[in-house]
Amino acid sequence: MKIVTVAGHSNNRHRHQHQPESTTMTQGYRFALRTAACTLSLLLLNACSTLGARPALGQPETHTDAFDQRIYQDDISLSGKISVRYEKKGKPEQLPGSFDWDQHGTTLHITLFSPLGQTVARITQEGQRAMLEQDGQAPRYAQDLDELLQDRLGWALPVAGLRDWLQGFIRQADGTRRGLPRIDQQIENDGWLLRYASWQQDINLPKRIELNRDTTQAGHVSISIFIQPPGN
């Protein structure tokens, strides 16, 4: 009986001796868990702030705060393909063709051709004076070239904006001209949604530009422009 009693006291004594160690281990384990949870939360917050809002898969990424350093050319000659989609009396219309763009300071000459190479329209702008020539019709004059083209062609050709866009520039709210980075991107400018889908390999110019805008006269207007490398 003494042995049983002694053994019982001995076991109780051992249990009392181990309780502080168990408590210490439990507290340490809980502290480690709290530390790990806090660290994980900080990592997740940092990852979210770093990634930000990402575009949907397959959608071009929009960049409005990174501008490329290039020099705007007041004198430039460009050629390429153009395709215009718009609405006429509620029905969709499409006009494929090509164009020549000859710019010298404030003087601009644009020629639009049909897919067979026939001249569709000749546009001339000298300062504030604009003229539109079409075969079989008397020349038309106006101070607002964009309005003149809308009335006579039936769709909007944003000539003022194209002076910048064809060279990969946009106009800021303060009127300054800024060059865009050479990436696939979308950006709004002067009421148009622009997508720079591709760029020339050896020269600092765009290769393919998509222009989109909703209008009251011609519904949704979509203009696709493919610029050939100068000299080709």
pLDDT tens-digit map of 118-160:
999 999 999 889 999 998 899 999 988 888 898 888 898 999 9
- The string of pLDDT tens digits covering residues 207-224 is 999 999 999 989 999 999
- pLDDT at residue 34, rounded to an integer: 59
pLDDT at 11 over 60: no
The token pair at 207 is 């290769």
DSSP 105: T
DSSP 61: P
Number of H helices, E strands in the chain: 3, 12
- At 82, the pLDDT band (50, 70, 90 cuts) reads very high
How far apart (Å, rounded) are the C-alpha atoms in residues 99 and 168? 18
Cβ atoms 213, 192 nearer than 8 A: yes
Cβ atoms 227, 201 nearer than 8 A: no
Total-model pTM: 0.70
How far apart (Å, rounded) are the C-alpha atoms in residues 34 and 23? 17
Mean per-residue pLDDT, 32-52: 49
Tokens 């770093």 -> residue: 50
Mean per-residue pLDDT, 1-25: 43
DSSP 59: S
Q: How far is CA 198 from CA 50, 123, 183, in A?
A: 27, 27, 7
Q: Which stretches does DSSP call E strand in 60-149?
A: 75-88, 91-104, 107-113, 119-126, 129-133, 140-142
Q: What is the CATH number of domain 75-227?
A: 2.50.20.10
How far apart (Å, rounded) are the C-alpha atoms in residues 123 and 3? 117
Cα end-to-end distance, the chain, whole Å? 112
| Number of Cβ atoms within 10 Å of the Cβ of 207 | 18
Among candidate residues 158, 219, 80, 150, the one with its CA nearest the CA of residue 140: 150
- At 39, the pLDDT band (50, 70, 90 cuts) reads low
Q: What DSSP element (H or E) covers 14?
A: helix 2-51
Cβ atoms 175, 188 nearer than 8 A: no
